[in-house]
Amino acid sequence: MNLFDIPAAADPTRPLAERLRPETLDEYTGQEHILGPGKPLRRQLEQDRLTSMILWGPPGVGKTTLARLIARHSQADFVPFSAVTSGIKEVKEVMAGAVRNRRLGRRTVIFVDEIHRFNRAQQDAFLPHVENGDVTLVGATTENPSFEVNSALLSRTRVYALRPLTVDESVDLLRRGLKLLDLRAGDALLEQIAVFANGDARSAYNLLELAAAAAKDGEIGSQAVEDAMQRKVLLYDKSGEEHFNLISALHKSVRSSDPDGALYWLGRMLESGEDRMYIARRLVRMAVEDIGLADPRALEQAMAAKECAHFLGVPEGDQALAQAAIYLAVAPKSDAAYRALNEVRDTVRENVAEPVPFHLRNAPTRAMKQWGYGKGYQHAHQFEDAINTMECLPPSLAGRQFYQPLARGVEERIAARLAEIRARRGKGGQPAESATPE
């Protein structure tokens, strides 16, 4: 650096993401699963036992920045390498320099961006130098290294999977950007940008920089953010009334078997930047509370949508939430299991907690058998159709029926089967056709 060099943070001509690139590990945001206290990469750095590695993750999660910090922390020479523009000749030249460095007692960290773009011959050129310790190779890739990196080179490196930034982590970065730009913006707007950026810090910074160009009186407004994202911004307080109004509207639309209403309110929440996992949790709740055993697959669909939304992220994962909302809305409804559990809880609270009957207790020791544990137990599989006549409730509740299935969907078949079971167990079950919805 000479007298005429301008520090990155002070150079307004550089992109905001470059100006805010962390200088120390403490400034680095995200990847706590590998960089948090006691985590594997943090231990490597603290013990100065750096090994070759591949940083695998989506764009904008900090792979290049982390490689630079690793080199700086280990006080090694950092040589950036592009797999797009470099060939075998460049690889050999860099390796020769690394060998000279090692003879002088200096370490060299070779950072290869987009290492998956290297062909087999180029990757093989690194092998002997990685193996004998001439260089520490840090490769970055957005592709699965198991498929894109030679097995010989892969076996000599450790793969660290980097995760997309969370909304909160992205918002923290955006606040740093505001401070550097000397601007203000509401937290709701920053969350909108973070959700739209989908875990990509570079994208978040770029959006903030675009919006900053239209700031008025030192503040970035919603119109500036809309122009930057080229989409309408719907804001609402995620901890306030509108948040609960929208989720209530979605829930009630599903319960009312109105897929169009459900989709509309879901879309409002998605466009407002609502946490996708919050929506997924509420869809799971609807599946168990309002559909239950009338369609047991509803819960499977809701859980699958949650996994899909988490796996794909925004916006692709939103389609899974929409699919689940439609499925839940058109599914047959029953709250019989929900009401049964509530009745059981009321019963437990209002009655004495009786001891478990002896015939339901396990008897793992001879003494317990002598005391009567397990006496009178009827093993169901020793009876026809695995149906016995043993009472499983405490004496004061004997014969009590908590679960009353409705004649809807799968639960209609459950009602018929349950009536047969209760009749055969001597509980006076009623025919399935008399089980009518309330």
Q: Which residue ranges form the domains of the chain, and what is each CATH number? A: 30-161 (3.40.50.300), 167-229 (1.10.8), 241-330 (1.20.272.10), 355-434 (no CATH)
Strand order in the sheet with 77-82: 77-82, 108-113, 136-141, 53-56, 158-161
The whole-number pLDDT of residue 291 equals 95
Which token pair is 112? Answer: 């290869």
Query: Please, which pLDDT band fits residue 436 given cuts at 50, 70 and 90?
Result: very low
Averaged over 217-242, what is the pLDDT?
71
Q: What is the largest CA-CA distance in the chain?
A: 95
Where is 80: in which H helix or E strand? Answer: strand 77-82
Distance CA(330)–CA(351), nearest Å, equals 39
| Average pLDDT score over residue span 119-136 | 81
Q: CA-CA distance, 76 to 411, in Å (whole number)?
A: 67
Residue 242 clears pLDDT 80, i.e. is over it: no
* 111: CB partners within 8 A, 6+ apart: 64, 67, 68, 71, 78, 79, 80, 81, 138, 139, 140
Whether the per-residue pLDDT at 83 is higher than 70: the answer is: no
Share of the chain above pLDDT 70, in %: 91
How is residue 30 annotated by DSSP? S
* pLDDT higher than 80, residue 435: no
- Rg over alpha carbons for the chain, rounded to the nearest Å, is 31
Say whether the peptide bond before residue 145 is cis (omega within 30 degrees of 0). no
pLDDT tier, 434 (very low <50, low <70, confident <90, very high otherwise): very low
**Span 384-404, mean pLDDT?**
89
Q: Mind listing the pLDDT tens digit for each residue in 321-354?
A: 999 999 999 999 999 999 999 999 999 888 888 8
Q: How many CB atoms lie within 10 A of CB 26?
A: 7
Which runs of E-coded beta strand occur in 233-352? none
Reported confidence tier of residue 80, pLDDT bands at 50, 70, 90: confident
pLDDT digits (tens, 9 = 90+) for 133-164: 888 889 899 888 888 888 888 888 999 999 98
352 Rama sector, left if φ>0, alpha if ψ -120 to 50, beta otherwise: beta
Q: How many angstroms separate the CA atoms of 176 and 201, rounded? A: 12
The C-alpha atoms of residue 295 and residue 307 are separated, in whole angstroms, by 20
Please state the rounded mean pLDDT for residues 278-289.
95
Does 122 score more than 90 pLDDT? no
Q: Is the pLDDT of residue 230 over 80?
A: no
User: From the CB of residue 51, how many other CB atoms can be counted at a distance below 10 Å?
Assistant: 14
pLDDT of residue 86: 67
For the residues 269-296, what does the mean pLDDT come to? 91
Q: How far apart are CA 242 and CA 188, in angstroms?
A: 13
Give me the pLDDT at residue 345, please.
Answer: 92
Find residue 54's DSSP bridge partners. Answer: 139, 159
For 142-202, where are the E strands, in sequence order?
Answer: 158-161
Query: pTM, whole model, 2 decimals?
Result: 0.56
Residues 336, 338, 341, 346, Cα dihedral to 10°:
-100
pLDDT for 432 equals: 38
Mean pLDDT across 173-186: 91
Predicted pLDDT at 85: 67
pLDDT of residue 309: 92
Whether 169 and 65 have beta carbons less than 8 Å apart is answered as no
- Among positive and negative, which fits the CA dihedral 393, 398, 402, 404? positive
SS3 (DSSP) at 62: coil
Residue 33: pLDDT over 50 = yes
